[in-house]
Structure 1
Amino acid sequence: MCSTNHYPSPDSEMVGAGKTETTRKQTPTLELSSAAQLPESSNCLSCSEDGRYLSMGHSRGLSVWCATSFVCVAEWLQDSLEIMCIQIIRMAETVYLLGTVDDMGVARIFEFHSEAVHLLTVVNHMENVNKRRICLALELSEGGDYGAAAMSCKGDVWLEVYHLPLEAWLKELKRTQSQDPSEHVDAEWSHFSVVLKIRPAGTTLHEPLKDMKTTDFFTHCCSLDVESSSSCQRLCTHHFLLPCGQLPGDSKKKFQPAGLPVAVCVWWSGSHNLLQYSLHKVPKNKPADVEPMPDVILPNAKEILCSAVSRCTQYIVVGLEGAMVYVWDRQSGSPLSVVLVSAADSAFLRVQLVDYWPESADDLQMFTAKVQLLVLCKSGVIYSVTTGRGTQSCTMQLTERSKDSKDLPTVITSVPFLHSLSLMVQRNGKMFLQDVINQTTVCYLTPPASHLFTTPCKPVYALSAKQKTLLIQGDQDPNCSALSEGGNQSQLFIFQFGEIDITKKYIVPLPDPPQQQTVCCVNLEESCNLYLEQRAQSVDERNKAVTQTWTQLQETAVTLQQQDGSATAS
């Protein structure tokens, strides 16, 4: 159980219109529930969505732990190999996939089952050191059907999307388990297939920009991106997208499994456009050097700085240059809302959706849909934004500009099992839960007096929604004279939020995982009709919002005129 202490919280951590007497009261401090010894030089941590297992990457490979007993159940070790990034997902009832990237940029995919880890494939073999492909990031889609890797080679960058042979791997796993262990025969695993190889806009366009046909909307938007970003290093951000009512250009394919990704959304640094590529339209025997064309393009007024996708992937949120936020609705193919967050603050660093458990996809009243966001600026200012179709957007400032670089937030993430609460970590090592609706600090989280949270600038942590638990790495405080029994070895600190009275009122029930049911995919005409119907149903709400906006503009104009008159008279 977590114990509580109290100390006064500084006013500077909660400012703005929402500051109340509550923020000046003492804020509880929650100590950890338990701790476990970690392998030496642990670099990364991931928790499976079902809450059963933890995967850890360290200086000699990886290990899989039970998420309840915190006992290591399986390892894959190799000398001089340091795993820097790791992800664990469930691909079958008792079978899990692990995706890793090591310190040399080599990506691997493993299979975990029955307390054994098998190496399935090395994504980017290093056969020729002069032409080696460096993996910058690897992500496996939920369920393991697809993977995506950002690659780099001699200054060129691109995104590769893979279809993973899950059925074949399960059969090969079963065949491997039926073999005599004394034979020591190395299993041969099926290889994945590359379904998309996406490069930054313009890298494969051979025509001069002036000769491009501006009547071609896709080509025109891509050419603008080439002109605006030709001098910068192109980096890729992508999101897997689930079925969402329509598959543009694919009206013949009427049904798709609900939990299976149907598209990938991509944007490149320096770009104004979100590009959506279908995962079910890739022709067979397609030449590898042919540039795939996007099925959907979502243009934005300014350069994209950050993005996020809702859990159901219906909403795509992008933070733009000039402090603007666009919320795109994939169901209608149009913006749900456009919000100017602040005209005076620094550029956006990150955008985060607060609601991880949106309403059911069967709810057709999307004209009243609302989304809540957290926006983090480079200055350290954090905003809460509530917006939606037919409603007036509301923006609240949660924190003020950081006066000291040590106060800058490094982590801001919604806690999926605690309603309206977000976990925040600062460079100075402070960690706390923030109520983004009421603008209050709910509690601080602290390690034992003899320890510090590891690298607050990039903490190693994971949230388990099933266990309602935060797991974070901590190290011995070098300034502490009393050493623990484990010496300087890292510890895994566990905070059980479900056992704490102060957070019980925020706990929300978790929805059932998405079932592999069929979802109807309408064509473009039906999608347009649905959008027009929503617009007609929301006319009263939108008229009310317009009236309120004009009233505010008139009041602002009168205030400015009065100020000008006073300045002239003086």
Structure 2
Amino acid sequence: MSSPRETQSQKTKLSISTHKGLLEVLSSAEKDWPKDAEEDHVLKDPDQELDTLPQPYRMINKLVNLLFERSWKIIEERDALKAVEPSQVLPTLYSPLLESKLNKMPTCMAISRDYVFVGGAGGFSIYNLYTARRAFAWEKLKVAVTSLCVLDLGNEMLIAPVDEMGVVRLLYFLKDGLFFIKAINDVEDVSKQMACVKVAFSSGGNFAAFLLQGAGDTWLDVYKLPRESWLKEAEHTQQAANPRTVVRQLLVDTVDPLTPDDLEMEADIYFRGDSKLTLPVHIMKIKPPKPITGTTFKSPLEVFAKVEDCCGLGSGQNHFIKDSQWERRANVFNATYKKHLEGEWEEEPLSVATVHFLLPSCLTAVLADAQSPAGVACTLGVHWTRSHNFFLYPLNRTLKDKVEPEGVWPCAAPIATSQLSPCCTYLVLACEDGVLTLWDLAKGSPLGVVALPEGCFCQSIHFMRYFLVHKGRNTYPDRPVTSRMKCVVLGTDASLHLVAAQGAQGPTIHRLVHRPERHPDDAICAVAPVPALPGMVLTFSKNGSLQLLDVARSQVVCAFGLPRPCPLATPWKPVFVVSSHHPCFLLRGHHPDEIKTVEASNFQNSLFYFNFEAYPLLENTRYCTMSQAETDAAFPPVLSLEKRCESFLQQRFEQLEKNKAEEQVHWSRLRKFSIFLQRENFKK
């Protein structure tokens, strides 16, 4: 016969075995504690029956145990990672070839040919790419320059620095002369100041667009730039000026380019502040599309009778819907999402525009009234945040003309981001649902539609020069290819994808880098293609690592590091620039807010120079092209059937003008018939 203590122990064990579910962690508020907590409480150890804790100490004990378990899991993951790291093969790490110490912290950078433009406090400086020698310093501002947009036009350059107040200025650079043209949005009254958010130049430098925001309003200003007049005026000024009488800027020119020296020496660049160049011409002011409202028309017959032009119907731009229909739709929406709409709503941010200057092509030539010269943009493509439509505006117009899009490309979902290739031949529209539409503007047809994996959305798009894997090496064809494109897409989950399209075969998507699940610090935050290395891109991670990735093989070739690595307190936001003409890139030190030491403050004012040709591992991956015979074998001549299809497509485009005239005739008949029916209804 069992003792009373054994019987009590058996009952306790029975209650433990029949207890279902895990113990819930109680709320911190005493009013939320369940009333039956004492009844459901079960001791895991029968010997501790007399040592049970009352509330609220039992709840505190549970919270401490939960915190301990989570901390222990994190410790185990870190120990497992340290155990795996020695067995991993780390990529070869290369250090920079040159460190240029600057007197001020660089906030932004740009490369154009042999010059490096560095923005900072008070303005920007121009450095020689090879010698790290400062050629000029334009420091006429009271605030720092936050962004620099530089367009390379060969011997000419267009420079648009934007300062902390949002003021953008336009400068023109020719040979050894720098000319100030105009402050686009500078006003005397600071309260009326409109900040510049984006700057965009056309590929030929004939047009510029500035996105301005402020006082709850936003719009896009488009200017026509008189490049031919600037060239003549600048050359005349440079020939008339005497170099000996021109006051030059204080520069840095020492034997050791890493140590600045304040010696007055002759400058490489003159600032022509007294020379006045022709001002740019304002041709358009574009505002975001207005929200759709109800129409005042009472019947479809009234619509057909009073609307003079049929253009825009069915394009997603012109709607004739009654107010009552919009009210019913709003009521259904509010009733469905009532519980989500009851909370406080933050103020919706202003809409932001993305601008692309499109060259004459099969799609854009129809919109332009006059024939544009080769290489000169003729159409402006714009899409706004939270908008489904991609608008097309002709550029051969004046400010007096009515600003209306002459073409609209509607999409199934709002356009999140877009990108135009450097050759202005391919356009990618990425929607918020993760679907990408690839357009071949030269042929006037889409290359296909591709969707990112589920749960992944497009963050940025980066075009790559088309390359092929030939004899185990990434090579560039020696002549331009048509209807073939490759781009790298960075997802919102930090995954990296390669999207390729080729003619009528349809696009393909390949995942290069997977989403980091256990270690978020390894997530990619920025991507930059390397034009000098076929099929290579630079990837920047939040933990400060920088790697060179071969997208053809999905392998890391090597890594680059700074000479004095230091831990980051916040996710890394790299400031870098990759040259499109030279095999090199520049990288700035980490942000001073991340590290508060004296040594680190000097480290922030440094620019690090990396040259791909100086590293042994990259000898076999340098710039190389295929021979003529290999290119012809890889890209066979166009078939006769495709030529016939292309000729037929050209004929169809030529008939568009004839079809417009016929549409107007039918539209006039429809309007007359609608008026006749209205009169008959009135008689009744």
Per the normalisation by structure 2, the TM-score is: 0.63
Distance 1:497 1:454, change over 3 A: farther
* Amino acid across the alignment from 1:263: T
Bigger Cα displacement from structure 2, 351-360 vs 406-415: 351-360
Deviation, structure 1 residue 122: 0.5
**Counterparts of residues 380-459 of structure 1 (less than 5 Å):** 380-403=494-517, 404-449=519-564, 457-459=572-574
Deviation, structure 1 residue 109: 0.9
Distance 1:271 1:182, change over 3 A: closer
Which residue of the other structure, out of 567, 581, 586, is the alignment partner of 1:471?
586
Tell whether the 8 Å contact from 2:447 to 2:507 is kept in structure 1 after alignment: no
Tell whether the 8 Å contact from 2:356 to 2:381 is kept in structure 1 after alignment: yes
Deviation, structure 1 residue 210: 8.0
Structure 2 residue aligned with 1:313:
424
Deviation, structure 1 residue 270: 0.9
Which residue of the other structure, out of 50, 59, 67, is the alignment partner of 2:121?
59
Tell whether the 8 Å contact from 2:315 to 2:408 is kept in structure 1 after alignment: no
Pair 1:504 & 2:619 matched = yes
* Amino acid across the alignment from 1:89: L
Pair 1:237 & 2:354 matched = yes
String of CA shifts for 1:472-497, please: whole Å, max 9, x gaps: 1115998799949x935511101101
Distance 1:165 1:447, change over 3 A: same
Between the aligned partners of 1:62 and 1:529, the Cα distance in structure 2 is 50
Distance 1:72 1:313, change over 3 A: same
Between the aligned partners of 2:443 and 2:651, the Cα distance in structure 1 is 5
Pair 1:41 & 2:105 matched = yes
Tell whether the 8 Å contact from 1:451 to 1:474 is kept in structure 2 after alignment: no
Deviation, structure 1 residue 470: 0.8
Pair 1:292 & 2:404 matched = yes
In the comparison of the two structures, how many residue pairs are matched?
482
Structure 2 residue aligned with 1:521:
none
| Structure with the bigger percentage of helix | 2
Distance 1:239 1:39, change over 3 A: farther
Tell whether the 8 Å contact from 2:150 to 2:159 is kept in structure 1 after alignment: yes
5+ residue gaps, structure 2, are 1-79, 82-86, 248-271, 330-346, 468-475, 627-644, 654-684
Between the aligned partners of 1:476 and 1:303, the Cα distance in structure 2 is 35
Identity value in percent: 23
Distance 1:476 1:223, change over 3 A: closer
Distance 1:218 1:382, change over 3 A: farther
Deviation, structure 1 residue 455: 8.3
Structure 1 residue aligned with 2:383:
267
Tell whether the 8 Å contact from 1:418 to 1:508 is kept in structure 2 after alignment: yes
Tell whether the 8 Å contact from 1:461 to 1:472 is kept in structure 2 after alignment: yes
Which residue of the other structure, out of 353, 363, 385, is the alignment partner of 2:463?
353
Distance 1:150 1:479, change over 3 A: closer
Distance 1:154 1:207, change over 3 A: farther
Which residue of the other structure, out of 149, 154, 171, is the alignment partner of 1:87?
149
Structure 1 residue aligned with 2:316:
221
Between the aligned partners of 2:647 and 2:191, the Cα distance in structure 1 is 49
Deviation, structure 1 residue 158: 1.5
String of CA shifts for 1:319-362, please: whole Å, max 9, x gaps: 1122211101223433210112212x233211222336897997
Which residue of the other structure, out of 195, 198, 202, is the alignment partner of 1:137?
198
Which residue of the other structure, out of 151, 165, 169, is the alignment partner of 2:226?
165
Pair 1:30 & 2:94 matched = yes
Between the aligned partners of 1:135 and 1:431, the Cα distance in structure 2 is 31
Deviation, structure 1 residue 114: 5.4
- SS of equivalent to 2:513: coil
Structure 1 residue aligned with 2:392:
276
- SS of equivalent to 2:515: coil
The higher-RCO structure (CA 8 Å, 6+ apart) is 1
Structure 2 residue aligned with 1:249:
366
String of CA shifts for 1:505-532, please: whole Å, max 9, x gaps: 3333599xxxxxxxxxxxxx98871499
Between the aligned partners of 2:491 and 2:551, the Cα distance in structure 1 is 16
Pair 1:202 & 2:297 matched = no
Structure 1 residue aligned with 2:58:
none
* Amino acid across the alignment from 2:649: N
Tell whether the 8 Å contact from 1:44 to 1:460 is kept in structure 2 after alignment: yes
Pair 1:323 & 2:434 matched = yes
Pair 1:74 & 2:184 matched = no
Deviation, structure 1 residue 167: 2.6
Deviation, structure 1 residue 263: 2.0
- SS of equivalent to 2:532: coil
5+ residue gaps, structure 1, are 1-10, 13-22, 512-524, 534-570
Distance 1:377 1:76, change over 3 A: same
Structure 1 residue aligned with 2:414:
303
Tell whether the 8 Å contact from 1:73 to 1:115 is kept in structure 2 after alignment: no
Distance 1:348 1:450, change over 3 A: closer
Which residue of the other structure, out of 370, 375, 398, is the alignment partner of 2:489?
375
- SS of equivalent to 1:406: helix
Tell whether the 8 Å contact from 2:477 to 2:625 is kept in structure 1 after alignment: no
* Amino acid across the alignment from 1:298: W
- SS of equivalent to 1:398: strand
* Amino acid across the alignment from 1:352: H
* Amino acid across the alignment from 2:274: D
Deviation, structure 1 residue 446: 0.3
**Counterparts of residues 156-195 of structure 1 (less than 5 Å):** 156-177=217-238, 178-179=240-241, 181=245, 186-195=274-283
String of CA shifts for 1:263-309, please: whole Å, max 9, x gaps: 221111111222222222x1x4615xx32323x32222222111111
Per the normalisation by structure 1, the TM-score is: 0.74
* Amino acid across the alignment from 1:310: S
Between the aligned partners of 2:297 and 2:550, the Cα distance in structure 1 is 52
Between the aligned partners of 2:394 and 2:90, the Cα distance in structure 1 is 52
Between the aligned partners of 1:411 and 1:102, the Cα distance in structure 2 is 23
Pair 1:150 & 2:216 matched = no
